[in-house]
C-alpha cells in the first residue's frame, strides 16, 4: 500500500494562511521540489488546486511569467507535470493533468492507496 503524505504550511504560532509568514526562498523551494518529485500524484481539494493552478500552471506560451524567479522554475516544472487528483463536488472539470474525484472520498482515497507507487501528497 502506498503512503498518503500530508503537508501544510504552518507558522510557529499556528497560522495556516498561505500568504502569512516568510515568503518562499531558494532553499525551501528546493526542498519542496524534491518532495513533489518523489510523489506519484498529488491530492488536492478544489480551493488548493485552483490556487496552485493559477500560480504554477505553465502558460500556453510555454514561457513562465516574469514574477517566476529562475530558482522557482524547477518547482514550477515539477508541480506542473505532476499527476493530480482533485476532490470537489463543485468544480466543473480539472484539466491541469488532473482527475476530478467525486462521491465517496474515503473509497476513492483507499483505491489510490492500493495502486503501486511511492506515495501520494
Amino acid 21: pLDDT? 62
Amino acid 11: pLDDT? 67
Q: What is the dihedral of CA 28, 34, 38, 43, to 10 degrees?
A: 30
Task: Give the pairing of strands 98-101 and 42-45.
Answer: unpaired
Q: Using the 8-state DSSP alphabet, how is residue 86 labeled? A: E
DSSP 3-state of 54: helix
Per residue in 56-70, pLDDT (tens digit) is 999 999 999 999 999
Per residue in 14-59, pLDDT (tens digit) is 666 666 666 778 998 999 899 999 898 999 989 889 989 999 999 9
Cell readout for 79 is 508541480
> Sorting pLDDT into bands at 50, 70 and 90, what band is 6?
confident
The reported pTM is 0.85
82, pLDDT greater than 70:
yes
Query: Are the CB atoms for 83 and 97 separated by under 8 Å?
Result: yes
Amino acid at each position: 500500500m502506498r503512503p498518503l503524505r500530508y503537508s501544510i504550511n504552518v507558522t510557529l504560532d499556528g497560522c495556516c494562511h498561505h500568504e502569512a509568514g516568510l515568503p518562499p526562498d531558494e532553499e525551501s523551494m528546493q526542498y519542496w521540489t524534491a518532495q513533489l518529485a518523489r510523489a506519484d500524484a498529488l491530492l488536492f481539494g478544489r480551493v488548493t488546486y485552483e490556487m496552485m493552478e493559477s500560480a504554477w500552471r505553465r502558460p500556453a506560451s510555454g514561457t513562465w511569467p516574469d514574477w517566476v524567479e529562475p530558482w522557482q522554475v524547477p518547482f514550477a516544472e515539477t508541480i506542473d507535470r505532476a499527476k493530480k487528483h482533485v476532490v470537489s463536488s463543485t468544480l466543473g472539470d480539472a484539466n491541469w493533468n488532473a482527475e476530478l474525484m467525486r462521491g465517496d472520498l474515503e473509497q476513492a482515497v483507499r483505491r489510490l492507496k492500493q495502486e503501486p507507487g511511492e506515495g501520494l501528497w
